[in-house]
Amino acid sequence: MKYIYTDGACSGNPGPGGWGYIVLDENDKIIHFFRGDRHQTTNNEMELIAILAAYRYIQEHPNETYIVYTDSAYCLNSLTNWMFNWEKNGWIKSDKKEPKNLDLFKELFEIFNDPNHAELKKVAGHNGIFGNEMADKLATEYKKYVKYWKI
């Protein structure tokens, strides 16, 4: 069993942001990690990109069993519940609007529509859980570089 923790962060909303994920074994040994950033984004977009990147990693390493963790209730609810209704309704939410980050949701829909996809679970953020704290550090790494961006 492998565990993947994901996180996204943003300074301002929108503003500069980052995302990251970390893959751990059952002994919390780091197997892999990856991160990225954008100079103009939202927190939800960063959270979704981190989750998408984690599932792409899983697709590249299919011979393992994974559980993916997020500290975003919005992402968990969107990806395990709401998005299936959005898709049935032509990608329209109950407020008659398209969901923001629709391109990401459509890509994630393909993954989550597979009954064999890795389970996505909620983890408490900033609660001392090693994987979540490390994913947070990867996501907030962008702050080092903000001063170089011309926004």
Q: Which two tokens stand for residue 11?
A: 């300074």
On whether the CB atoms of residues 51 and 104 are closer than 8 A, the answer is: no
- Which is the catalytic residue, given 37, 45, 47, 131? 47
32 is an active site residue = no
Q: Please count the residues of the chain.
A: 151
Catalytic residue (one of 17, 20, 131, 136): 136
- 126 counts as catalytic: yes
- Residues 64, 98, 119, 126: which is the catalytic one? 126
List of long-range contacts for 92-97, beta carbons under 8 Å, 24+ apart = none
Q: Is 103 a catalytic residue?
A: no
SS3 104: helix
136 carries an active-site annotation: yes
Marked catalytic residue, from 36, 45, 71, 131: 71
Let me know if 28 is a catalytic residue.
no
The answer, yes or no, to whether the previous bond of 62 is cis (omega within 30 of 0) is: no
For residue 39, give the 3-state DSSP assignment: strand
**What is the spatial distance between Cα 44 and Cα 130, in angstroms, rounded to a whole number?**
22
Q: Is 47 a catalytic residue?
A: yes
Options 7, 17, 18, 37, the catalytic residue: 7
Residues with catalytic annotation? 7-8, 47, 71, 126, 136
